[in-house]
Amino acid sequence: MTVIVLCGCSDSHTATSSTAIAPKSGLHLVAAPPILLRKCRATARAVGYAVPCPTFIPAGLAIGSSMTPTGCLDVIGPGGRPACGAAGRPWHGWVVGTSDVGAQHLAITASPRLLQNYAKLVNGPAWYPRARVRSLGSVEVNGKRLHAIYVPPATNDGSMFMHHVVLVWSVNGHTYGFGFHNTRGIRRTLLLDKQLAAHFKLVGP
């Protein structure tokens, strides 16, 4: 197992200790339970490359206890699961994650290849030529430079990242992204992303 540090559901596990609170975002983070790291490792083995894994998660985010979920989507997992049917087959090799905490939605993805067009990242194989994202510039988190984008619903129809503020980076031939739904305004949502980015690492197979 290789760990690359990015910067310095009935039955479920929810962490309740080691809370970290950012003074500006107000997002309460707690240590991710071991089941989440196991899901990240299993996903990395399935896709064959390092996947983004949060070591801290928003308080109240429930992590399903099953390592073999029957559903199509999980907090993190390989794309193209059999439960997704024929529509999921083009997603083979991608990483897809979706989870909710209160009114917030967190989406995570990774591409099996390097992408320069970030609209292709947030839409995956469902990308279409008119898909567009809006650049918000770059941000620095623990010495790492990440690109910030906003995903307008009008030009990203069907994407799980619609109306999200997303942080994007590329390393070792893959492009990664995650972000929260923009429920608080772009500036405040970007602060949430930056706080969580400080606790992401790439977990290899």
Tell me the pLDDT tens digit for each residue of 120-166: 999 999 999 999 999 999 999 999 999 999 999 999 999 999 999 99
For residue 9, what pLDDT is reported? 29
Q: Residue 159: CB partners within 8 Å, gap ≥ 6?
A: 122, 123, 124, 126, 131, 151
Cα distance from N-terminal residue to C-terminal residue, the chain: 5
For residue 34, what pLDDT is reported? 92
User: How confident is the prediction along the chain (205 residues), in pLDDT tens digits per residue?
Assistant: 333 333 322 334 444 444 454 445 567 899 999 999 999 999 999 999 999 999 999 888 867 655 655 578 889 999 988 888 888 899 999 999 999 887 789 999 999 999 999 999 999 999 999 999 999 999 999 999 999 999 999 999 999 999 999 999 999 999 999 999 999 899 999 999 999 999 999 999 8
What is the reported pTM?
0.86
Residues 150, 27: Cα–Cα separation, whole Å? 20
Each residue's pLDDT tens digit, 181-193? 999 899 999 999 9
Closest of 136, 202, 125 to residue 166, by C-alpha? 136
